[in-house]
Structure 1
Amino acid sequence: MSAPVITAGFADPVIEAQAHFHALMDALARPGSIQPFPAAVDAPAPLTPELAATALTLVDHETTLWLDGPLAASKSVVDYLRFHTGARIVAEPSEAAFALVTDVAAMPRLADFAQGSDEYPDRSTTIVVAADGIVPEGALELAGPGIRDRARIGLAPVPADFIAQLAANRAQFPRGVDLVFTSRRQVAALPRTTLVSEV
């Protein structure tokens, strides 16, 4: 039986991981802002280059990682992520430090992921979504820490009753999940502190 062929990760792991990390942190610190995200990696489908770059930046052998149905069903994707990150892939979203999502319609509810605790809010899941598009001045209006007055962003697709789920998530602060959206070499984020409404 031949060994699996695994595509390459970052060409320069230190430099590229740092650049992607700064973009992710800027997105989380400034909700509604859209940051450039080079994601120049050759990832096996259906893992997008942006999801792969996020995993290579944030995930390591001490990290639990949940994959949605299409990703978990791909041996190439599982082999790629295990090889490049060493992460322990878990079956339950409630056990995950990070989650990668390509099928937004089938995504578990936000409350099904790890919520952290009042003492350890960092033990919650960061959910990374492969969106079809991220646009400025969209239908979602944002307020809260990191936002001057108001910000607007468009994300597509989003889960059913997304606004209600986000409100419930924010209400339990400091517990709750953080969301990162990636698309076409861009990244944006909705941390748990952000108040989201529809325009």
Structure 2
Amino acid sequence: MTLDTLPFAGGFQEPVFEAQAVFRTLMDCMARPGTIGQMAATVMPPAPLTAAAGAVALTLCDHDTPVWLTPTLKASPLPGWLAFHAGATVTEERQSARFAFVEKGAMLPNLCLFAQGTQEYPDRSTTLVVEIEGFEGGRPMVLTGPGIRTREETAPVGLPDMFPHFWTENRQGFPRGVDLVLVAGDRVLCLPRTTVVHVKEA
């Protein structure tokens, strides 16, 4: 496989069934924030995007969903891969993006820079798909809110120290705000804007 052929390879082997499975996992995790879902993805997106994040992209993105990419992802063959397999186009404007992808190790932009939706159409916001190192061993956080019976705890590795502050700001305009999909390896955890995040005290 060469750089010239990379955009045409690596899609779902069984597009309908695999996309449905990924979609169900995402919807279950979005309905139950803090729950970790498992991805059995067969896709092979261009590096540095990983298979699970690539599966999310092919499941959610299409010709009606402009995508924002970090500079590293934009400079890779990923834009062509998304265009060929999903019909999705890349936008320079964060406010125009329906989905945004941040690879592992990249700087997470301030969430308020992305489309927040409107009071009438809060769904016209950006969903960020952010790759991190893992869900254990980082700064412990407590999650509460709709879809969580009492509380959930997670300790993601790879989010910036300012993330709790970013997330508090994100919730201040509710029902406006962005939603977040965290991907670590083949696992995924969703944070809809309804979720309250607190740093766990020692």
Question: TM-score interval w.r.t. the shorter chain?
Answer: over 0.9
Pairwise CA RMSD: 1.8
Aligned twin of 2:132? 131
In the TM superposition, residue 135 of structure 1 has moved relative to its aligned partner by 3.5
In the TM superposition, residue 134 of structure 1 has moved relative to its aligned partner by 2.0
Q: Deviations over 1:48-89 (max 9, x none)?
A: 111110010000111110011110111x21111111111121
In the TM superposition, residue 171 of structure 1 has moved relative to its aligned partner by 1.6
Instruction: Specify whether residues 162 and 7 from structure 1 end up closer, same or farther in structure 2 by C-alpha distance, changes over 3 A only.
Output: same
Aligned partner (choices 44, 47, 50) of residue 45 of structure 1: 47
Q: Mean alpha-carbon deviation: is it higher for 185-194 or for 127-136?
A: 127-136
Aligned twin of 2:38? 36
The answer to whether the 8 A contact 2:139-2:199 is kept is no
In the TM superposition, residue 104 of structure 1 has moved relative to its aligned partner by 5.2
Aligned twin of 1:162? 163
Aligned twin of 1:26? 28
Q: Mean alpha-carbon deviation: is it higher for 17-26 or for 101-110?
A: 101-110
Instruction: Specify whether residues 3 and 138 from structure 1 end up closer, same or farther in structure 2 by C-alpha distance, changes over 3 A only.
Output: closer
Unaligned stretches of 5+ in structure 1?
none
Q: How far apart in 2 are the matches of 1:147 and 1:174?
A: 18
Structure with the largest fraction of strand: 1
The answer to whether the 8 A contact 1:70-1:103 is kept is no
Identity of aligned residues (%): 46
TM-score normalised per structure 1: 0.94
Q: How far apart in 2 are the matches of 1:9 and 1:105?
A: 24
In the TM superposition, residue 138 of structure 1 has moved relative to its aligned partner by 6.7
Instruction: Specify whether residues 46 and 185 from structure 1 end up closer, same or farther in structure 2 by C-alpha distance, changes over 3 A only.
Output: same
Aligned twin of 2:74? 72
In the TM superposition, residue 131 of structure 1 has moved relative to its aligned partner by 1.1
TM-score normalised per structure 2: 0.92
**Counterpart secondary structure, 2:44:** coil
Aligned twin of 1:57? 59
Q: How far apart in 2 are the matches of 1:72 and 1:105?
A: 13
In the TM superposition, residue 136 of structure 1 has moved relative to its aligned partner by 9.3
The answer to whether the 8 A contact 1:136-1:152 is kept is no
Amino acid paired to 2:13: A
In the TM superposition, residue 106 of structure 1 has moved relative to its aligned partner by 2.1
Instruction: Specify whether residues 4 and 194 from structure 1 end up closer, same or farther in structure 2 by C-alpha distance, changes over 3 A only.
Output: same
Q: How far apart in 2 are the matches of 1:78 and 1:28?
A: 26
Matches within 5 A, 1:95-134: 95-103=96-104, 105-134=106-135
Aligned twin of 1:4? 4
Q: Mean alpha-carbon deviation: is it higher for 111-120 or for 127-136?
A: 127-136
In the TM superposition, residue 155 of structure 1 has moved relative to its aligned partner by 1.3
**Counterpart secondary structure, 1:133:** coil
Instruction: Specify whether residues 39 and 29 from structure 1 end up closer, same or farther in structure 2 by C-alpha distance, changes over 3 A only.
Output: same
The answer to whether the 8 A contact 1:105-1:158 is kept is no
Instruction: Specify whether residues 146 and 182 from structure 1 end up closer, same or farther in structure 2 by C-alpha distance, changes over 3 A only.
Output: same
The answer to whether the 8 A contact 2:53-2:183 is kept is yes
Number of corresponding residues: 197
Q: Deviations over 1:152-188 (max 9, x none)?
A: 0121211341111111111211000000011111110
In the TM superposition, residue 41 of structure 1 has moved relative to its aligned partner by 1.1
